[in-house]
Amino acid sequence: MTKSNTRTLGSAPGRGRGSQVGFKHVLFDVDGTLIDSRAAIVAAYRHAFRVVVGVEYPQTEAEIRALLAPRLREVCQAFAGSRATACEEAYRRFYLEATDGLVTAMPGVAETLAGLMARGLGIGLVTNKGRERLATDLERTGLAGIDLEPIVTAEDSAERKPDPRPIVIALERAGIGASQAVYVGDGPHDVAATAAVGVASVGATYGYYGRDLLAAAGAGALIEAPGELLELLDSGTALPGARPAAPHG
């Protein structure tokens, strides 16, 4: 690893918490990283496919995992064809009206976000989720009152992760360069998106995809609980940076 491909995270030992080195913003994935919405997503897809397509899907772990990263429109187009719009509407309605008890904040997330703010870091979200469902889930999990900026959702970019465009939008809105941000996500598509633009990545192994897939994807560091992010930042650990790809149009 060359020196130019290494980021230093957090405060070096002995320094105050406000003296962050190398970056200004922590950007987060949402589902599987800040919140656990897996049960709600699965229930909503099963409902939509049952009432619109007449199939019981998903059932296996592999089928469930395949539905977690794509956007709702992509999934419905693939499974419902000409009835994709009806599929989307059935999913949205069920998700918003029938999954209140199925969405929770990941343990320790609120404390972790408070700790990041205390360290003077900005906090943003970059998600493949739609804006309406994101707002609902932030309310459900008690995270709606936190200062989160920027927020990049499915409506902000035609491309989705692993395409880097949503990450680029977040950097532009925050007014920072790639070397000033770190992205925390639970999926290999998160790591791929950050690598394409040179943003350092932290893999959340407690999410939906697990340690092995994140390590294989090349995450710069791995955490097993949200609170470990603060420990990582405070340790001054050098985090490998990704080599930027050619400018993304």
Give 138-183 pLDDT, tens digit per residue: 999 999 999 999 999 999 999 999 999 999 999 999 999 999 999 9
Q: What is the residue-wise DSSP string for 18-47?
A: T---S-SEEEE--BTTTEE-HHHHHHHHHH
| CA 210/CA 110 separation, integer angstroms | 22
Contacts 24+ apart (CB under 8 A), 45-49: 45/75, 45/91, 47/90, 47/91, 47/94, 47/98, 48/76, 48/80, 48/87, 48/88, 48/90, 48/91, 48/94, 49/79, 49/80, 49/87
Q: What is the model's pLDDT at position 238? A: 72
Residue 236: the pLDDT is 78
How far apart are the C-alpha atoms of 65 and 133, rounded to whole Å? 19
Residue 186: the pLDDT is 97
The dihedrals phi and psi of 62, each to the nearest 5 degrees, come to -65, -40
pLDDT tens-place string over residues 202-220: 999 999 999 999 999 999 9
3-state secondary structure 89-133: HHHHHHHHHHCHHHCEECCCHHHHHHHHHHCCCEEEEECCCCHHH
Tens digits of pLDDT across the chain (249 residues): 323 334 444 433 333 333 344 679 999 999 999 999 999 999 999 999 999 999 999 999 999 999 998 999 999 999 999 999 999 999 999 999 999 999 999 999 999 999 999 999 999 999 999 999 999 999 999 999 999 999 999 999 999 999 999 999 999 999 999 999 999 999 999 999 999 999 999 999 999 999 999 999 999 999 999 999 999 988 877 776 544 333 333
| pLDDT computed for residue 18 by the predictor | 37
User: Domain spans of the chain?
Assistant: 3-36+104-240, 38-102
Residues 174 and 196: their CA atoms lie apart, in Å, by: 18
Span 3-36+104-240 CATH architecture: 3-Layer(aba) Sandwich (3.40)
